[in-house]
Structures are given as structure tokens and as C-alpha cells.
Structure 1
Amino acid sequence: MSASATPHSSPRIETRLGTAELTRTAMKGLDLSPVVAELEEAANNGPARGAALMDLSAIEQLRGNLERGLRYQELALRQCQIYETLSTAEPDLDVLVLAAPIHMGGNTPIEFLIANTSIRQRTLYLSEEHQLPEKLLEHDVIFVAAPSDNDQNRGHLEKIYESLDSFDRPILNNPRAIVGFERDELVLSAGQVPGVRLPETFRASRTDLIARCVSKTWSTSPFAKLGAPFIIRPVGSHAGRDLEKLSTVEEIAEYLQRCSDDDFFISSFIDHSSDDGLFRKYRIIFVDGRPFPCHMKSDWKRGSS
């Protein structure tokens, strides 16, 4: 069915429930406590401790406990680096997903796209401590889910690309193709395209923002041209994490007390609401030239990537 670049014995893999299944359960309003109890028992005494810890990580993040969730993930990766998402279907395609050990909204959520299909997903987590193995799993396609808009990931993505350069399997989300799409870079490269309007975006450090708030020099900074209200979010954040709309310098100081990140993107706020007051964003994916509508949102923040 599938093949790898070099014949080898299979590395250690653990099977987990997966983020998509746990998210669906949570969105239905079902009680996850029995699942948590089973996972905690498995994490302490079961043969697949890593898988249990990884699922506990997802549940804690769904509950809003990011720090605790990332701690579970760290413990999981000490047990196992590769996880297969549980499926009852007979696989006819193997996808090897390369992910970063970050919050669950940071990696491209391919698991939601291929759920309930005959595609088998195996996710390999990569970091400074967990490098790309010398021999990979058997696979038909490689999908790079690790984000490019994060300083810590850029160098690692380049390492991924160099390692995979000699493989003859298709690579989706090619690292070299996605680097360069930072929010402050995209407006420079695509902002001049006719018919395209992108919000002007600046990058600022926590130190710079605090200094301008204290010295009251916001009005003389480049950020002042954004006007009010404006949008602020941490560099490398996704899924609306710590994304807020602010109007005054005082609100920036309050925001920095709530958010512990070191670097931020500040963008002008474009009011693109319709006459009914709803904000509509339509996402379309083209596959072999055929358009597929994905989703829309109804307020300015919901569904923000």
C-alpha cells in the first residue's frame, strides 16, 4: 500500500483517541470526566502512557487549561514521539504528519479534515529535543502541520525540508513555500495586488509596548497610524488565542498584564461587516482546480486563524 524511502523496521507508535474526536465530544456538551478518569489510569499504569497523556493534553486545552495541557504533552513526548489517530476504517492511504509540540490550535488541524475516512494519520512531533528520525515511517504523503509564523519553528522547518529533499513522496505544506507569510510580511508582498485589501500590520516587542505606554509616546510611534480600534495578538498565535480589539493605550497596558508573550502583531481593524451587522469570512479550498467551500464566520473574531 505505501512505501518509504528506505526499508526499515517500524519505530514505536502509540494509538490515541485524537483531538478531533475529543473536540467533537466536548462540543456536544458531553461530560468528559469518565474519559479523563480512564486516561489518567492508563497514563499511570497502561502500556500506552504517551497516548493517554496526549489525549489528556487535548482535554485540558479544551477546558481552557493551556499550561496544564502543554505539561501533559511534554510528558507524553518523553514516552513516545509518534501517534496514530484511532480509526476503525481499513486504511488505503498513509499520511505522515509533521507537527510541533505547541498548543493544539497551532498546528494545521488536518485530523479534522480526514476524520471518518480511509486515510491513516500518524503524527510525528518534532522539536529541538525530538529531531527527525534517520528512518521515517512508511508513508504515501507527508503533511507538514507545524506552523511557519513562529520564530522558533522557522529554523526547524528548514531542517525538515532539507531532510525530506531526497524523498520521492509528495510533501504537502512544503516548508519553503509557507515561510514568508508572517502577518507583517504578507501585507508587503500581497498588499499591492489589485482588489486585495490587507490590514497594515506591525510587529512589536513587549518591552517596546511597555516603554511607549509608560512614556506616553504612542502618538509618535509607527503604530499610531493604525488608528483606533486596532487588533493585537501574540506572534505565533492561532485560533484566536489572546486576539483582542483595543482602542486606547491604557487598554494595551491591561492587555499585557493578561498576556505573557514577548512579541506581538498590531494591525488596523477593518470593519467589513454587512448591513445586518454580521462579519462574513468565506474560506474556499481549490483541489485540482475545483473549488470547495469550507466555512464562514459571523463575527469579527470567530474562526480567526
Structure 2
Amino acid sequence: MSVTIPLPRRPVVNPRTETQGMHRLLPIAFERRDMTALWQTAIERITADASDAAAMIDLSMMLYCHFRAEEARTLLDQAVAIQRDYCVVHGDGSGLRVLAFVTPGDFMANTPVDFLLNGSNAVLWLRYVDGDTTDLDDLPEYDVALLAIGEATEHRPVLARMAALLPTLTGPVMNAAARTIAGLTRDGVSALLASEASLCVPPTTQVERAVLESVGLGASQLADHVAGLAFPIIARPLGTHAGGGLDRLDSPDAALAYLATSESAEFFVAPFIDYRGQDGLFSKQRVVFIGGKAYPSHLALSDHWIVHYLSAGMAEDADKRAIEAAWMEHFDSDFAHRHAAAFAALQRRIGLDYFGIDCAELPDGRLLVFEVDVAMLVHDMDDGTTFPYKKVAMQRLFDAFVAHAGSVHGMGYEHAA
């Protein structure tokens, strides 16, 4: 039986560690609201005290919001060199204390824990770690920890380091399987899930640039390098996410043209799967797994096979929004019911407390899995007037995350609305 444990009201937090947080700053940029006052406050703090690392963190996040990634990363690295711990207080701060191990990067580098705690009274502590971190000493007080670092080529050293360090902790840790997270590469996921009949995960292979050059010049065939592979294929540079550098190649000439657009030395290649529905549209769903249960995050429909929510015209098309609304409302009894075997296979194979997938339904009933990751952006920033159904569905997801974190803590914590 769940028992609510009384916790102290808003904690006294050192202003040198407290930051605005992604859940406050990113929506301002997303809604194109004026950020001048916050920007000026951060600048004034840093001008008055060049070691004010918390202000640097806020300013770095605002720079990321304005697509000034290089400046943002430089400032973020400077802040982390000064101190490694930062705090974000949700609500009155009387709730669960969550410690997230993160690594420097943009909004897709780490699990969006700040958004996942929306609507709660949680206190989020961020401990920045990297491949040179020697220990996890002197941590802030916490109830439950989370390894929040996403899979990425540049994250391999830090994930390897965390695999060695996390066993030294005595408290509960969510997503503690650092090696599992590191294995969520494109080719790693396709190999891991290849034998699951309920899933379609196109075999993905890492190839060197010279392979595509050889095929493009007619010196060899795709199948000479990857058994069974033939055009059309999809290709993407190693280490990219969110569709970066992704393209469909239908011929050797297309392979040569593609190489002219990229300087990458290595690529992932996979067979192209046509997943258009009967309406001629491509539909891609983002689903989040929390404690083994699946929750809807978003559904996007597009006439292009690369489906991104922001470019799919969801805000401009009421019919598309109606489909997404119905998908979210009836998710448990419809989509999740139809794909129960696929969801069970994913949880069995991945086994993490928290992860997300981008997927689509195939006519034969299988679930086509594009990607598995712990750092997919999951949020509730969409306009409540245009997307009235999103806030309810996303808060349900957020509540589930807080509840699961509380259950991992073992204190029977109930979400504080």
C-alpha cells in the first residue's frame, strides 16, 4: 500500500547551485517569448562574479535555445570546470530528491529529467560527469539517482566510466546499466532485436566512406559489402540523431551525390522500409517506457518518409491532430494492446527503468522500430489551445515517472500535484 511520507517544504538551496532548468527556459524559446530579462540577469550575475557557475549554466541553456551551440558548449564547460553539482527546484521543493548523472551537451545529450518532473514538487540535482571522472564522492543528498546520459559516440568514455563507478553507490539508481545504454547504437539495437517476431528492426551496418564510394563508382555492389543489402537504402553519418544527415539512396549515383554532402568517414546503412499507411501518409510514434509500461509521447503524420513533429504540419492540420488525439486517448486499449507482444519484447531486451522508442506500424502488424534511446526529447511545450489533448497525456507520463522513481526509492512516495 502506498504511504505518503511528509517531506520538508521548499529546501534552502545555495543560489550558486540553483538554476532555472530546461523546463522553464526551453518553453520560452519554443513559444518565441522574450527572454531578454532572464538573459540580462544571467549576464549581470556573471559580470559581478566571474565564478557564478549557476548563472553560466542558465546562460548556456539560453544560448542553446538560440542555436548558438558552440558558444553554449564553451560556457557550459567553463561552468562544469568550476563546480559539478546544480539544482532545479520544482513546485515547492517538498517532494522527491532526484539526482541525475549527466554529461555536458545540448538538449539531446541526456534524459530530459527536468521535463519528466513537471507538475511535481521534486528537487532535481544534476551531477556532471565525464570520461575522466574519478569518483562519485560528495554527492548532494538524494532519494533516488538516475543515469541520464544518452547513447552517443562521444559518450562512450563517460558511459564506460559510469559502468565502473555506479556500483560504488549504496542508494537506488535508475537506468544503472551503463553498458546497455552504450549498446543502443543503430547497429546494436538492430542486432539486439533481430530475432523478435513482433518487431521489424532493419539490419543496420556500419560502413566506411570507401564502401559507398566504391558502390557509387560501380566498382562493387552493396551486397559485396553487406549481405543481402540492395537499393533503396537509408544512410546516415555515424553519431547523428534527430535525422541529422539521414537520406534515402535509390541508386549508385545517389550514393555519390550523398557523399558530396557529407564529410563523415563512417556511415550506418540499412534497407529502406516503406511504412506508408493506406492514406498515403507516413506515421511515426514516440513511445516512452517507464517501469515496463508504455506511454504515448507524440504521433506525427507526414507525406515525407522522414517524419519530424515540428515539420510535419501537425499544428496546421486539424485532421492530423484528431488522429494523434485519438491515438493518445485510446493508447492503452488500442495501440498498446495491438503491440503488447512487441512492447514486452522491448522491455525484456532493453530492461531499463526508462527509455523511449520512435516507431511505426506496418501493414503486417509488426512494429517498425527506428530508434531506441534514453535521451529523446519528451515535453509538454505544445500550445494548449491547438493541442488541448497533449497536456493531459504528457502529465500522465510525467506522473508515472515520478511515481516510478518513488517506488525505486522504496518509500511509497506519491506524486504531489
What range is the shorter-chain TM-score in?
Answer: 0.7 to 0.9
What residue number does 2:98 align with? 95
What residue number does 1:249 align with? 255
Aligned partners of 1:42 and 1:48 also within 8 Å: no
Q: 1:215 to 1:71 in 2, by over 3 A?
A: farther
Q: Using the alignment, how far apart are the partners of 2:59 and 2:255 within structure 1?
A: 39
Name which of 171, 182, 192 aligns with 1:179. 182
Name which of 222, 232, 235 aligns with 1:231. 235
Cα deviation code 1:143-191 (max 9, x no counterpart): 11112342x4334323323322143322111214433222112212211
Structure 2 stretches of 5 or more lacking a match? 7-12, 310-357, 359-375, 377-417
Aligned partners of 1:89 and 1:116 also within 8 Å: no
What residue number does 2:151 align with? 148
The percent identity for this pair of structures is: 20
Aligned partners of 2:186 and 2:268 also within 8 Å: yes
Q: Using the alignment, how far apart are the partners of 1:14 and 1:268 within structure 2?
A: 48
Aligned partners of 1:141 and 1:169 also within 8 Å: yes
Structure 2 counterpart SS, 1:92: coil
Shift of 1:15: 1.1
Structure 1 counterpart SS, 2:261: helix
Deviates more, 1:140-149 or 1:263-272: 263-272
Shift of 1:196: 1.1
What residue number does 1:126 align with? 129
TM-score (norm 2): 0.61
What residue number does 1:32 align with? 35
Q: Where do 1:2-41 residues align within 5 Å?
A: 14-41=17-44
Relative contact order: is structure 1 or structure 2 higher (C-alpha 8 Å, sep ≥ 6)?
A: 2
TM-score (norm 1): 0.81
Q: 1:199 to 1:35 in 2, by over 3 A?
A: same
Q: 1:38 to 1:135 in 2, by over 3 A?
A: closer
Q: 1:290 to 1:198 in 2, by over 3 A?
A: closer
Q: Using the alignment, how far apart are the partners of 2:125 and 2:101 within structure 1?
A: 9
Q: 1:67 to 1:92 in 2, by over 3 A?
A: same
Shift of 1:141: 0.9
Q: Using the alignment, how far apart are the partners of 2:232 and 2:149 within structure 1?
A: 33
What residue number does 2:162 align with? 160
Deviates more, 1:105-114 or 1:291-300: 291-300
Code of the residue aligned with 1:82 in structure 2: it is: D
Deviates more, 1:29-38 or 1:10-19: 10-19
What residue number does 2:298 align with? 295
Shift of 1:212: 4.0
Cα deviation code 1:112-158 (max 9, x no counterpart): 111231121111111145544423221111111112342x4334323
Shift of 1:86: 4.0
Shift of 1:67: 1.6
